[in-house]
Amino acid sequence: MSALNITKGSSSHSAYDLRDPYAEVIESHTLAVLVDNESGVLARVIGLFSGRGYNIDSLTVAEVDHTGHRSRITIVTRGTPQVIEQIKAQLGRLVPVHAVNDLTVEGPAVQRELALLKVAGKGDARIEALRLAEIFRANVVDSTLESFVFEMTGTPEKIDAFAELMRPLGLREVARTGVAALSRGA
Amino acid sequence: MTQANASAMTGAKMIVKALKDQGVEVVFGYPGGAVLPIYDELFLQNDIRHILVRHEQGAVHMAEGYARSTGKPGVVLVTSGPGATNAVTGLTDALLDSIPLVVLSGQVPTFMIGTDGFQEADTVGITRPCTKMNWLVKDTAKLAETIHTAFHVATSGRPGPVLVDIPKDVQFAQAEYVAREKIKTSHYQPRVKGDIEAITKLVELLEKAERPVFYTGGGVINSGTAASQLLRELVDATGFPITSTLMGLGAYPASGRNWLGMLGMHGLYEANLAMHGCDLMINIGARFDDRITGRVADFSPHSVKAHIDIDPSSINKVIRVDLPIVGDVGHVLEDMLRIWKSRGRKVNKEGLAKWWAQITEWKAVDCLDYKNSEKTIKPQYALQRLEALTKGMDRYITTEVGQHQMWAAQFLGFDAPNRWMTSGGLGTMGYGLPASIGVQVAHPEALVINVAGEASWLMNMQEMGTAMQFRAPVKQFILNNERLGMVRQWQELLHGERYSHSWSESLPDFVKLAEAFGCKGIKCSDPKDLDDAIMEMIRYDGPVIFDCLVEKHENCFPMIPSGKPHNEMLLGEAETQGVIKAGGAVLV
Ligand SMILES: Cc1ncc(C[n+]2csc(CCOP(=O)(O)OP(=O)(O)O)c2C)c(N)n1
Ligand SMILES: [Mg+2]
């Protein structure tokens, strides 16, 4: 039975935002969740994901409005369209949640992640690491005679690619912030 | 906060004042070290009645019974640590059945939190997944506001249980009281009005449908009596058939012309086949629970499905619907009726006549038929007699969980909402007895009966002491089959009749047990004596434990085995051989 013709956006709620109901494809979505910065709110969000069996690929959180005590949680998650809709609806009904925005469907968005990578090595490997870092626009934020710490920002894919290249060159440790994202335009 | 401030008071005083300002009349609770300041304040006043329970789980189920039979939130007070952990089953039960509760728990003083102090438990951590919302209040200045917010959250949108954890030093410290009207609730205001465009679409579908069915649930009851009234008007005006989940019984009267009976795993043949064969399904405040749908892939394959629900997360969770309407049932029904009337009250008369003819055929199967006996009391017979003998009385029914619960749903008729209290979502054995006390506390003059199984009843039987102490004349109607009957039925059908630990041994003598509690015990095993015994129970002015010895191996039919679609229903013993395959056995 086909979905009735309900115009998209006829309600603010995502329940009306039907995509192909039978699609079983796994999609990756970036969600921005605006919450009250109160104790337990992160546990509530994470508990929702673990309790209902949803995936978290990346999660970042920080207070973005110090006077209103609001934090922004950016979650990258995966699932079928139905699961993604469920995740948004489940997040939306948490009491301390003020807004859930799906940056993946609501138009173009920019995504950035910051990473620190420690690479140890000597000789050619060391020179090659530095050369690649330049290509990737990674900064050297610490160096010894036998190691570098690179700092880079970019999309998660770019960081993945850089880390992959560093692996044979002596990659020791990686610290990543997870994704921060904003929709483009005003 | 200065002591001189006129409206400053201790946290404990503030709690009691906040409860009064919220119109709370009864608190179900149990004291302990971490709530003594609150108990002190309760002692010093007479407006709020405190019901001392025997176990905190009992307190929560009582509050549920109170809430479901009144439409008001139930209130519970427990101490820290074990007091709070004992409340967890009740909280989960209330969460799954969307029952508004406010639970206040004591906590060790703020300076001791995290030190593994005596009777310290991470109560907000433990109860986070089993409450709609919870709070740990670390500052007395925020206490009144938090309690008022708690009531707002528990009762707004889809109702549910909330918990406020209050460290002991916060109860002693002073601060200014914040009035109920002063709190900000603006950000938590779930949407109640449905989308008019979508409601109009639903009316269009309604006008054309050949084989429509209303599938209603607990959301109608939670929406309030006005919603039940609107539902009745809509059903009677359209002439559509209506079925309901276990949770929604009473919203449409069982004596109503269009009533098909309950649907689902142990629902009626005609109700389930109507769901399977309909061309328009109008879900009003139900949630496509797995007890209802059976095998999802084969659920009502030829219907357009509309779903009215206040909780957006209920929509498209289990079953893909064609027409979702997010809103409060009462508001949506009102708009729906108005629009349908203004468009000329159209229905597809021809289609409906054929549909009803089909339904009448299904009804003729008489799916609740059973073989009665002159020698032993059949549980179905016991309930038929209970129904007949209490008809027309101001009656409330609670149940435990098991076969008796399903038979009660099949054989008792409810003509009004808020009269039927049963643990639906969680299926909590031990719910019925305390729930019956909560109902009786709210309705002291009414006839309150807990239809129980002997095994479930034992789980919270200590609450008979509460019933005695507070003169709650609850009637415990125990259908005693000396079996964990529902488990036994599944073992018979699914596990090769290997009855692993599913019988009730070393049962107490229920009559002597009644005497020990100081109430009345009645035992009945002969069908001929049953009517008199039931009348004796009803007439007795006080709590009664009725030990009704019934057939031990009766199975509950109809039954849709787990993993089967609606049209593969079992109607009786003859059809049960080897019906459930391994795939079904993994389901519960
Ligand atoms: C707390 C809890 N434990 C276990 C179960 C699983 N269970 C469901 S029904 C049932 C048997 C109930 O026996 P009884 O109360 O005598 O009712 P009957 O089925 O015999 O009518 C059991 C063990 C449950 N629902 N709740
Ligand atoms: Mg039993």
For residues A92 and A113, state if they share a domain.
Answer: no
Q: Which atom of ligand 1 is nearest to the CA of B479?
A: 21
What's the whole-model pTM score? 0.94
Q: Where in chain B is the domain with CATH 3.40.50.970?
A: 8-182, 379-549
**Contact criterion met (CB below 8 Å) for A119 and A150:** yes
A3 domain-assigned: no
DSSP β-ladder status, B101-107 and B520-524: unpaired
In Å, how far are A24, B374, B466, B538, B540 from B513, measured between CA atoms? 58, 28, 15, 19, 17
A11 domain-assigned: no
For residues A41 and A92, state if they share a domain.
Answer: yes
Contact B324 A15 (CB under 8 A): yes
Q: Tell me, using a 6 A CB cutoff, whether residue B86 lines ligand 1.
A: no
For residues A34 and A66, state if they share a domain.
Answer: yes
Question: Which of A3-42 are b and which e, b meaning 16 or more Cβ less than 10 Å from the residue's Cβ?
Answer: bbebeeeebebbbbbbbeeeeeeeeebbbbbbbebeebbe
Report d(CA B359, CA B213) in Å as an integer.
11
For residues A124 and A95, state if they share a domain.
Answer: no
CATH number for domain B379-549, candidates 3.30.70.120, 3.40.980.10, 3.40.50.280, 3.40.50.970: 3.40.50.970
Report d(CA B511, CA A148) in Å as an integer.
82
Ligand 2 centroid to Cα of residue B262, in Å, is 22
Ligand 1: residue of B61, B486, B494, B506 to mutate (most ligand atoms within 8 A of CB) is B486
Interface of B with A (CB under 8 A): 124-125, 128-129, 132-134, 136, 153, 157-158, 187-188, 190-191, 195, 197-198, 201, 302-305, 311-313, 315-317, 320, 322-324, 326
Does the domain at B196-363 match CATH 1.10.730.10? Answer given as no
Average pLDDT over residues A26-50: 96
Q: Find tokens 């006008």 and name the residue.
A: B207
In Å, how far are A7, A49, B125, B335, B550 from B197, measured between CA atoms? 10, 33, 42, 11, 54
Alpha helices per DSSP H over B482-551: 485-494, 510-517, 530-539
* Structural domain of A39: 27-102
A34: closest CA of chain B, how far (Å): 12
A63 domain-assigned: yes
Domain boundary among A58, A81, A102: A102
For residues A177 and A129, state if they share a domain.
Answer: yes
Q: Is the pLDDT of residue A147 over 90?
A: yes
Q: Find tokens 């639903």 and name the residue.
A: B202
A20 domain-assigned: no
- Which residues of chain B fall below pLDDT 70? 1-6, 574-585
Q: Tell me, using a 6 A CB cutoff, whether residue B425 lines ligand 1.
A: no
Q: Tell me, using a 6 A CB cutoff, whether residue B456 lines ligand 1.
A: yes
Lookup: tokens for A92? 């939306």
Chain-centroid distance of CA A154 in Å reads: 12
Ligand 1: residue of B429, B454, B503, B550 to mutate (most ligand atoms within 8 A of CB) is B429
Domain boundary among A66, A83, A102: A102
A115: closest CA of chain B, how far (Å): 32
Radius of gyration of chain A (CA): 20
Domain boundary among A102, A132, A158: A102
Nearest CA in chain B to A84: B317
SS3 A175: strand
Q: What is the pLDDT of residue A22?
A: 56
User: Which CATH number characterizes residue A129's domain?
Assistant: 3.30.70.1150
Report d(CA B164, CA B416) in Å as an integer.
33
A19 domain-assigned: no
Q: Is the pLDDT of residue A18 over 70?
A: no
> Which residue has its alpha carbon closest to ligand 1 atom 4?
B429
For residues A45 and A64, state if they share a domain.
Answer: yes
Q: Of the residues B1, B20, B45, B118, which is catalytic?
A: B118
**What's the pLDDT tens digit per position in B208-264?**
999 999 999 999 999 999 999 999 999 999 999 999 999 999 999 999 999 999 999
Q: Of the residues B9, B14, B486, B537, which is catalytic?
A: B486
Q: Give the total number of structural domains in chain A.
A: 2
- Tell me how many residue pairs between chain A and chain B have CB atoms under 8 A apart: 74
Ligand 1 centroid to Cα of residue B556, in Å, is 14
A108: closest CA of chain B, how far (Å): 26
Q: What is the pLDDT of residue A12?
A: 33
Q: What is the pLDDT of residue A1?
A: 29
**Contact criterion met (CB below 8 Å) for A179 and A76:** yes
Q: What is the pLDDT of residue B67?
A: 98
Q: Is the dihedral of CA B484, B489, B491, B497 positive or negative?
A: positive
Radius of gyration of chain B (CA): 25
User: What is the widest separation between alpha-carbon atoms in chain A?
Assistant: 68
User: Which CATH number characterizes residue A38's domain?
Assistant: 3.30.70.260
* CA neighbor of B435 nearest in space, from B470, B405, B406, B474: B474
SS3 A153: strand
Lookup: tokens for B478? 């125990």
SS3 B369: coil
Known active-site residue B486? yes
The partner residue sitting opposite B312, judged by closest CB among A15, A40, A43, is: A15
B344 Rama sector, left if φ>0, alpha if ψ -120 to 50, beta otherwise: left
Report d(CA A33, CA A97) in Å as an integer.
7
Quote the ipTM score.
0.91
For residues A147 and A87, state if they share a domain.
Answer: no
Q: pLDDT band at residue A186, thresholds of 50, 70 and 90?
A: confident
Q: Which CATH superfamily is domain B8-182 in?
A: Thiamin diphosphate (ThDP)-binding fold, Pyr/PP domains (3.40.50.970)
**What's the pLDDT tens digit per position in B105-152?**
999 999 999 999 999 999 999 999 999 999 999 999 999 999 999 999
In Å, how far are B144, B350, B371, B570 from B37, measured between CA atoms? 15, 69, 59, 57
